Amino acid sequence: MKVWEWTGQVWKEKQNQPSVIYILQQQNAQLAQEIAKNKLKHHESMQQLQEQIAQLALQIAAKGGR
C-alpha cells in the first residue's frame, strides 16, 4: 500500500467517526439540560417551602401565637 493510499484510508475512517469535540459538545448540551432541570426543580421546591411556611405562620397567628 502506498503512503497516499494509507493516508486516504485513515482519512476515510476518521470521517466515519464522530470527532471528540462533537462528542464533548453533545455531553455538554446534555449536562446543561440536566442542570436546567435541577434548577427548575429546586426553584419549585423552594416555592413550595415558602408556601408551607406562610400557611404555618397563618395557622400560628390564628391560634393567637401559641
Q: How far is CA 37 from the centre of its chain?
A: 6
pTM: 0.52
Residues with Cβ < 8 Å from 9, sequence gap 6 or more? 1
pLDDT (0 to 100) of residue 66: 59
At 4-62, the pLDDT tens digits run 677 777 777 777 777 888 889 999 999 999 999 999 999 999 999 999 999 999 999 99
pLDDT (0 to 100) of residue 22: 87
Residue of 64 and 50 predicted with greater confidence: 50
Phi then psi dihedrals of residue 46, to 5 deg: -65, -40
